Amino acid sequence: MEQRVIELFDTTLRDGTQGEAVTLTVRDKLMIAHRLDEFGIDIIEGGWPGSNPRDEDFFREIRKTSLSRARMCAFGSTARFPDKVESDGNLNALLKSETPIVSIFGKTWKFHAITGLGLTLEENESLIYQSVKFLKDRGRMVVFDAEHFFDGYRDDSKFAIQMLMAAQSAGADIITLCDTNGGSLPNQIRDAVLEVKSVISKPIGIHAHNDGDLAVANSITAIEAGASHVQGTINGIGERCGNANLISIIPNLLLKLGMKTAQEIQLENLTSLANFVYEMINIVPNTRAAFVGKSAFAHKGGIHVSAVLKDSMMYEHITPESVGNAQRVLVSDLSGQSNIRYKARELGVEVSENPDFNKKLVEHIKSLEFEGYQFDGAEASFELILRSENEEFAPFFRTLDSKVYVFFNLQKHEKSEAVLKIEVNGEIEHTAAEGNGPVNALDNALRKALQRFYPEIATIKLVDYKVRVLDEQDGTTAKVRVLISSSAGADTWTTVGVSENIIEASWQALSDSINYRLFKVRNDKVSR
């Protein structure tokens, strides 16, 4: 296939912020803009300066910094009235932003022009022409976003293309075809782009929304049909169902279609960029996201794992490292000996090659999974099982007795207290502690009991606590699975507990967390 150069236009800071629950401060937007620049994005659409003070502030601040490769773009609409283009507030706000590029949208669906704006077709055409020319005459590169183009094309193709011609005649540098409602199918995109290419000489762009879950497919189809400019957002964030996801589009263009981008893309930083933006917008990453998700190269079925160990191409369409991701093998009731050996090697645990030992180990793991344990996200607990079976690990303490008291009254006064009796190397420690809830009380009591023997536990922090009800139909008698994530400095680990009693399940996970850290610290000291 002919190698083509594709221009990447990112609208995370503008269209992306229109997504539900997405809010960015000016500082957030500045940080994301610099990451996009480092990654290799060509054009960064920073916002709509005519619509809100925050975007105006962003454009003032971004002018004080320097981007190494990307060019900034301000977004707005055509003028509101054909006879008031010169004084239009929106167009003048675009100029005030001082970006080298501006993108403006205009109506290319007859329905919108007549019903939405109350314009005649001739007035709508004049509005597009005059708005583009106004900006071009003042030295700006203009990207014309043909809003609702594909709906308009299906309704009246002659009118839709006539509006594109008006933008081109006025000097627009790029004509972007927008699937604003996000409901088009790939064949509809292809047919429309091919016709537009036959009558428009300017570069064609594509701006797709994901309401039919086809934004990435539609964007790639448009490029295959001749578009050379693609718009989208990081992680596909945006209004309603989101925008075309550049995180998926870019590796498909580079790795599958053999195309080039105008700037050199740091593809090995793709996963890092996706996670960074998730962090900035305070949204939990999609673990099943293509290319960059935690599960994108995760293997669970024993047959799959056995094949991947021989050659990962059997069940991976690209190498995970090419996009900054990593291969993972999960341990579950679907596991075989290949899973166990892979995970053991990954965790640095040497397991016996004896088939009987491995079979026994697999059966043990599967029986735990049947009881409700899950080790996909609790690798610290899994490592303790492996090392225990290998006779490398024994618990650092033994629980002799435990009591948890929870008091509350109608005035909403609440108090939790835990009483523990544990044994460490033949010594018995009996202690009590209060906490903000029963689990926190247990945690405090355990630390209090162990600190005399193991002062290193002082650095451990509980950073996440999740509860999942198993067999919901059993109501309050159902088992629960508790996952606890802990940290100490830069190290993080997750442990699991399962029981019909949420306190017991939490205790199991807490105990594993402390044991895991003590084993790691003390084993590291011995290895030195």
pLDDT tens figures, 337-395: 666 666 667 667 776 667 676 677 777 777 787 787 877 668 889 889 888 888 889 99
Tell me what pLDDT residue 1 has.
43
Distances (CA, A) of 342 to 121, 313, 328, 330, 348: 66, 16, 9, 9, 10
- pLDDT by residue (tens digit) across 83-117? 889 999 999 999 999 999 999 999 999 998 887 77
User: Fold match between 5-265 and 398-453?
Assistant: no
Contact 292, 274 (CB under 8 A): yes
352 compared with 159, residue with greater pLDDT: 159
Q: What is the dihedral of CA 74, 75, 80, 85, to 10 degrees?
A: 30
Sign of CA dihedral 168, 174, 179, 181: negative
- pLDDT by residue (tens digit) across 384-436? 988 888 888 999 999 999 999 988 877 667 889 999 999 999 999 999 999 98
- pLDDT by residue (tens digit) across 442-490? 999 999 999 999 999 999 998 888 888 887 667 777 889 898 989 998 8
Q: How large a percentage of the chain has pLDDT more than 70?
A: 89
Distances (CA, A) of 321 to 7, 268, 272, 318: 24, 7, 12, 9
Packing angle, helices 157-169 and 186-199, rounded to 10: 50
Q: Which residues contact 200 (CB under 8 A, 6 or more apart)?
A: 161, 164, 165, 168, 175
| 199-215 average pLDDT score | 98
Q: Which of 297, 281, 299, 301 is nearest to 289 (CA)?
A: 297
- Element containing residue 121 per DSSP (H, E): helix 121-136
495 has pLDDT over 90: yes
- pLDDT by residue (tens digit) across 216-271? 999 999 999 999 999 999 999 999 999 999 999 999 999 999 999 999 999 999 99
**At the top level of CATH, which class does the domain 398-453 belong to?**
alpha beta
- pLDDT by residue (tens digit) across 134-155? 999 999 999 999 999 999 999 9
3 has pLDDT over 70: no
Q: Quick one: pLDDT band at residue 7, thresholds 50, 70, 90?
A: very high
331 has pLDDT over 60: no
Q: Where exactly are the structural domains of the chain?
A: 5-265, 298-389, 398-453
What is the rounded CA–CA span in Å between residue 153 and residue 204? Answer: 15
2 has pLDDT over 80: no
Contact 88, 80 (CB under 8 A): yes
**By CB neighbour count within 10 A (0-12 exposed, 13-18 middle, 19+ buried), where does 162 fall?**
middle
Tell me what pLDDT residue 426 has.
92
Tell me what pLDDT residue 522 has.
84
Distances (CA, A) of 380 to 98, 430, 438, 492, 510: 53, 27, 23, 9, 11
For 447-462, what is the HEC assignment?
A: HHHHCCCCHHHHHCEE
Q: Quick one: pLDDT band at residue 121, thresholds 50, 70, 90?
A: confident
Tell me what pLDDT residue 468 has.
82
315 compared with 401, residue with greater pLDDT: 401
- pLDDT by residue (tens digit) across 41-52? 999 999 999 788
178 has pLDDT over 70: yes
User: Which stretch, 52-66, 185-199, 431-445, has highest mean pLDDT?
Assistant: 185-199
In 98-162, DSSP assigns E strands to: 101-107, 141-147
303 has pLDDT over 60: no
Tell me what pLDDT residue 409 has.
73
Sign of CA dihedral 87, 60, 15, 259: positive
- Average pLDDT of the chain is 88
290 compared with 3, residue with greater pLDDT: 290
333 has pLDDT over 50: no
Tell me what pLDDT residue 375 has.
75
528 has pLDDT over 50: no
- Encoded tokens for 102: 């501006």
User: Is 5-265 a CATH 1.10.357.10 domain?
Assistant: no
Burial 176-204 (b: 16+ CB within 10 A, else e): bbbbbebebebebbbbbbeebeeebebbb
284 has pLDDT over 90: no
